Amino acid sequence: MNLYHCMVELKSGDRALQFAAAADAWLGHLKSEKIITDWRLLRRKFGLASGQHTDFLIEIEVESMSALEKAFSELSKMDDEHTRRYEFMHSLIGSMEVGLYRPYPDPEQRERIALL
């Protein structure tokens, strides 16, 4: 399993519940279509955070790197309805940082993989 981890800040004035509903519409659809395994939305509690921690975290689960590649390939084929769901959710985001994580320790035990 791999976790696509997104640290999200909303645009000024956007409502958190509106973002949660938009994320559910978009990511819930991806899960129902089996493009992703699962997802969850987390919000910072009591404003408690340090450094670069954002107001929201989104964790998107995919089974493998090949599943992540397949997900990106499927997303390139979006129809108008899917595009509207994605664009509405994304329109609420002011800034976002992403990372790809895995359970650790894992069988591969590779800290770095490179072609060059």
pLDDT reported for residue 90: 94
pLDDT reported for residue 50: 82
pLDDT at 9 over 70: yes
Q: What pLDDT band is residue 86 in, cutting at 50, 70 and 90?
A: very high
| Structural domain spans, the chain | 2-101
Q: Which among 41, 47, 38, 44 is positioned nearest to 22, based on CA atoms? A: 41
pLDDT digits (tens, 9 = 90+) for 57-78: 999 999 988 999 988 898 888 8
pLDDT digits (tens, 9 = 90+) for 15-49: 999 999 999 999 999 999 999 999 999 999 988 88
Which residues pair with residue 60 across a beta bridge? 4, 39
**What is the DSSP secondary structure assignment for residue 22, as one 8-state letter?**
H
For the chain, what is the radius of gyration of the CA atoms? 15
**CATH T-level fold of 2-101:** Alpha-Beta Plaits (3.30.70)
CA distance 39 to 108: 24
